[in-house]
Amino acid sequence: AQSVTQLGSHVSVSEGALVLLRCNYSSSVPPYLFWYVQYPNQGLQLLLKYTSAATLVKGINGFEAEFKKSETSFHLTKPSAHMSDAAEYFCAVSDPWGTGFQKLVFGTGTRLLVSP
Amino acid sequence: GAGVSQSPSNKVTEKGKDVELRCDPISGHTALYWYRQSLGQGLEFLIYFQGNSAPDKSGLPSDRFSAERTGGSVSTLTIQRTQQEDSAVYLCASSPGGGGGRNEQFFGPGTRLTVL
């Protein structure tokens, strides 16, 4: 069964510092990978996704992630944190085959705290 | 255009009562998913619909949970004889048809269910 592991339930950074949120996946074949963000009392919003094209994926709000098969990782980064980035971030995986509909399997989430 | 909407936004009920949660997907989206977000279990898949049929009900935690979708649009998640462990945020998502796991799922704001 597929799974994702997010290291660190909380990550604290200063405004302007590098953001690095870690995600490792477990799958027999390279899956599709997603990063979602959740602001308080809101649903999930897609930041970016990897679907077997370019390994470096750029998303919204200045975030990017790199798919590394050798490390089974899909870490999320942003060069300079902004106060508005404070939220919870979820890494998710889905199966890469077929044309049907695929559920997402989520990690446990990482809460990003940004201090002035 | 309008996103995924869910109602009610908050629901407080007494243990043993039945509740219905509603999801209105994005118009034209053929796939509809239900997830549950709770402190102890994180984000977990419940059920998905392809049109009006539910090929995958594997995530429903017990036979007290059921869901239906009519007209390929609105979906209702019903929880019978609610228990305190059912307290969670129930999230609905929709996505376009085809494309397999690469499709983005668009999430609603969720329904926060509290069972007293």
- Nearest chain A residue to B109 by CA distance is A43
Contacts of B88 in chain A (CB under 8 A): none
A46 touches chain B (CB under 8 A): yes
Give the Cα separation of B74 and B23 in Å (integer).
Answer: 6
B48 touches chain A (CB under 8 A): yes
Give the Cα separation of A57 and B114 in Å (integer).
Answer: 38
Bridge partners of B35, per DSSP, are B45, B91
Q: What are the structure tokens assigned to A106, written together?
A: 């989520």
Torsion region of A99: left, alpha or beta (phi above 0 gives left; psi -120 to 50 gives alpha) = alpha
pLDDT for A34 equals 93
Contact B101 A109 (CB under 8 A): no
pLDDT in tens, chain A (116 residues): 678 999 999 999 999 999 999 999 987 777 889 999 999 888 899 999 998 778 899 999 999 999 999 999 999 999 999 999 999 999 999 876 655 567 889 999 999 999 99
